[in-house]
Structure 1
């Protein structure tokens, strides 16, 4: 049974079916679609004897990767801060009420940091770029154009999957995901670069929420454009 399933999942077109099932499951709860997709990724990794290069993790962690991820994360924080400021000015604030339990609670903050690094930074990059984007690009021929189209499709999908954050959140996350898709397009064997940037960026915002400073920082970014 598992051999037949692995054979099916090895077919280029199988990624379309996996994405379709994930979307249908997400109509009930986005976590259902996410964990279904992540389960598929882990099953494939298991059958391939944990060869992570299949998903774009083909380089070891180096000091250069860490340094690069830190400075890109900082630049990304400020650029997206300004973009979000514009979006929230016209479309309303992002709905981050699901993270209110973090405010002033160090235990919840620490737990969420662990969850974020495992399931958001590592899990989402592995699923959306290492699997969805890479396999979809291969399905379309594997050319640079195919990688570009695949990146746009997955960025839109990833943005829509964050519908609970409201329209400004969807648009902002889609724009951010386009940047991550471009990074993977340029670094197809170094998915860990994306993982570190994702994790560092989210860590900054989780820390601001814990300190109850997120709205003030968001207001500061908005004030840079609309004084």
Structure 2
């Protein structure tokens, strides 16, 4: 009886991870479509909340319920958002692109250049799907479940970053590598703040918002030309 109970402990998080992996990576093998990817992220987010509530009658383990104050969470999110934006867009990106010899494929965002309606729509979308859903799935669930299985923070951060990078295959080798490094940053932040997912959500949303604004205003091209890359 005791051996079967011991076996059941890792079985449940492994099964949950497998279900999430199937849903989130299935669109990678289907004809490309942004709405399909968004839909899979939303479904996975709902599944994560269901798993947590079904297991513990609480969402606390996902990090969306945290004892941190609103103001400190907001300020930390903004602070790390700016720091991570500088690291990801202006340190990692030029270094990795020079190393691989390949520019990150971000052509799907070209349609928002100068188009206010597309910019507003994408801004709303990234805060819901990228900032909220991705953080719930990759940090609040995948990282947390791996930590439960292995007991090692560094391994949970590393493997969740790999999982995070794999949903960005459309960005090519450089984009995947940069996203992996970004996943390490957000994973570290999740652990560093005591599993306060809202800090990660705010930071992630700010990083993507700054990126979208630069593309919308064409400032990204001007800055790259100014910096010579």
Report the TM-score when normalising by structure 2: 0.81
Is 1:114 the counterpart of 2:90 in the alignment? no
Is 1:71 the counterpart of 2:57 in the alignment? no
Is 1:82 the counterpart of 2:96 in the alignment? no
How many angstroms apart in 1 are the aligned matches of 2:56 and 2:125?
Answer: 25
Q: Which residue of 2 aligns with 1:133?
A: 143
Cα offset for 1:52? 2.8
Distance 1:78 1:20, change over 3 A: closer
Cα offset for 1:44? 3.0
Unaligned runs of 5+ in 1: 1-6
Cα offset for 1:79? 2.0
Higher helix share: 2
Q: Which residue of 2 aligns with 1:149?
A: 155
- Is the contact between residue 28 and residue 167 of structure 2 (CA under 8 Å) also seen in structure 1? no
Is 1:59 the counterpart of 2:53 in the alignment? no
Provide the alpha-carbon RMSD of the alignment: 2.7
- Is the contact between residue 123 and residue 209 of structure 2 (CA under 8 Å) also seen in structure 1? yes
Q: Which residue of 2 aligns with 1:207?
A: 213
Cα offset for 1:157? 1.7
**Count of aligned pairs between the two proteins:** 213
How many angstroms apart in 1 are the aligned matches of 2:169 and 2:206?
Answer: 23
How many angstroms apart in 2 are the aligned matches of 1:129 and 1:67?
Answer: 20
Unaligned runs of 5+ in 2: 1-7, 31-35
